[in-house]
Chains A and B, each alone.
Chain A
Amino acid sequence: MVPAFSIQLLNFLAALLLLIAFAMLSQRRILSLIYLFAWQGAVLALSTTVVAYSTGQDHLYYSAALTLILKALLLPWILHRLIIRLNIKWDVETMINVPTTMLVGIGLVIIAFNLAAPISQLAGTITRNALGFAMASVLLSFLMMITRHKAVAQVVGFLAMENGLFFAATSATYGMPMVVELGIALDVLVGTVIFGIFFFRIRETFDSLDIKHLEKLKED
């Protein structure tokens, strides 16, 4: 049985999201990381539009527009300005080397696909196949947060994780209620601004954005 074209397109976009998540995982430069994050936001907005169009859920158009403005344009712009003002464009250090990280990533993808399979069987939505991809990108962003030393890369990982969660919500239940979505969008925006302030504070205190210095704050 061949599913309808919109579902194929949605699965394809889901695969694209996962590809971007992998690219972020293997990316060493912080500027490219932010560009990839912007692309992820754009793909997310497109996929939300496709879901909105194929299911006739009008409120999803608004959330697609919100995603495009916030996640593909505004947040990358804020982050971009931040790293230019912090003057950190060079390589991101990773805790484990990149090939090992990618291998762990493949393992996570297998876990996510298997985990999503029984849920997709139960779900009645047309978009249920994309759930595995969504969970995989959430786990990959999580892995990225764990394996990076620098605060900026961790924040990008956090925002990417939010993207994955948003995609999971869209694909599992056709999106959250508008109020919740607006709330989360505002949270993410404010969060990024606060993270920006934190970056400056961390650097002022330790002369570096490497968060392993934060361990010094522990009381003995």
Chain B
Amino acid sequence: MTSSIFSQLFQTLLVVLLAPLLLGWVNQCRAWLQNKSGAGVLQPYRVLHKLFHKDAVLAENASSLFRTAPYVQFACMVLVASIVPMVATDLPFAAAADVIALVGLFALARLFAALAGMDVGTAFGSMGARREMLVASLAEPALLMILFTPSLIAQSTSLTTIVEVLAHHRFVLYPSLAFAAVAFAMVALAENARIPIDNPATHLELTMIHEAMILEYSARHLALIEWASAIKLANYSAVGIALFLPWGIAAAGDWQAIPFALAALLLKLLLGGAALALLETLSAKMRIFRAPEFLGTAFLLAVLGMLARLLLER
């Protein structure tokens, strides 16, 4: 029991503390691809450090919701980080929430972000919140459909069971998972405010989605939000790895496999981050009105994955 609690703590802390590093790696890769020298992989930590040491400035008409929202977002992301198996499937906490609750946790964090964006009453905040909800309302059903395909394969909606089945039973190539993986990549791009949908580096008001919502935040609140979005990226990577590349994740109680699992995880994240940077460099941001089409395609691919699972893989 103690050992599994230790494993739980270790994994959650690993994700929470290393998430800014992943973000830094993605930004660094992107800088390299654009022939810039880049700020270094540790830059997100420096930003967080700087923001935590500043005095917070609040708008005069900000309500208590505005102040609590960053904490809620951060807590949601930490909670998600503690139910997604990254290194080992030995997670006592994972019993508390399955993949459907996972989608709910993401939705809760987003709801608070959108409410806080509207709370101060500036035009950009509400505009960003509305756009975010537009993207979310399309991405969420797609994400649920994607998660149903591996759940059908594993006959369980618990992430740890899914990883156990996919990684430790006999190796099987599932065509349905290919559809789900493509759809997941599209949804992950949209949900993490990456390039085809939103540009994380932009501060041009008319094109911002995520950034527009958090314009009013400063200091520790902003730091928590930035950290939460870094953890969100890490969480999405973790879910993607758990569902589509689970090989290497250690089985419960298998302590010898942990170092190898860590190395595998690091390699997958390095490659995944580089791939994300490459994708972002190669593609251009879409018009916001193209977003429904993009996410509709993701939804249809997810449906196709489920169909392939139900009709062909019996």
- CB within 8 Å of B: which residues of A? 2, 5, 8-9, 11-12, 14-16, 18-19, 22, 26, 98-99, 102-103, 105-106, 109-110, 113-114, 117, 129, 132-133
Contact = CB atoms under 8 A, between A and B. Distances in A.
B176 to A, nearest CB: 7
Contacts of B179: 15, 19
A113 B182 CA distance: 21
14 contacts: A5-B173, A11-B313, A12-B174, A15-B176, A22-B297, A26-B297, A98-B293, A99-B296, A106-B300, A109-B307, A113-B307, A132-B311, A132-B312, A133-B312
A132 B167 CA distance: 28
Given A19-B179, A105-B300, A117 B172 contact: no
Given A99-B296, A113-B311, A14 B175 contact: yes
A16 B313 CA distance: 15
B243 to A, nearest CB: 16
B42 interface: no
B304 A12 contact: no
B296 A11 contact: no
Given A12-B173, A15-B308, A106-B307, 20 more contacts: A2-B170, A5-B173, A8-B173, A8-B174, A11-B312, A12-B175, A15-B175, A15-B179, A19-B182, A19-B301, A22-B300, A99-B297, A102-B300, A106-B303, A109-B307, A110-B307, A113-B308, A117-B311, A129-B312, A133-B312
Contact of A18 (B170, B174, B304): B304
Interface residues on B, range: 20 to 34
B178 A12 contact: yes
The 9 closest A-B pairs by CB, nearest first: A15-B175, A8-B173, A113-B311, A12-B173, A99-B296, A11-B175, A15-B178, A102-B300, A12-B175
A93 to B, nearest CB: 15
Contacts of B308: 15, 113
B38 interface: no
A132 B311 CA distance: 9
Contacts of A14: 175
Contact of B312 (A19, A26, A102, A113): A113
Contacts of A133: 175, 312
B92 interface: no
B189 to A, nearest CB: 16
B312 A99 contact: no
B311 A19 contact: no
Contacts, number: 63
Contacts of B178: 12, 15-16, 19
Interface string B67-87: 000000000000000000000
B240 interface: no
Contacts of A18: 304
Kindly name the residue among A11, A15, A102, A114 whose own CB sees the greatest number of chain B CB atoms within 10 A: A15
A11 B173 CA distance: 8
Kindly name the residue among B175, B176, B293 whose own CB sees the greatest number of chain A CB atoms within 10 A: B175
A170 to B, nearest CB: 16
B292 interface: yes
Interface string B143-187: 000000000000000000000000000111111101100100000
Given A11-B173, A15-B175, A15-B178, A22 B311 contact: no
Contacts of B174: 8, 12
B293 A22 contact: no
B173 A102 contact: no
Contact of B297 (A2, A102, A132): A102
A15 B176 CA distance: 7
A89 to B, nearest CB: 16
A114 B176 CA distance: 16
Contact of B172 (A8, A16, A105, A113): A8
A99 B304 contact: no
Contacts of A98: 293
A81 B151 CA distance: 47
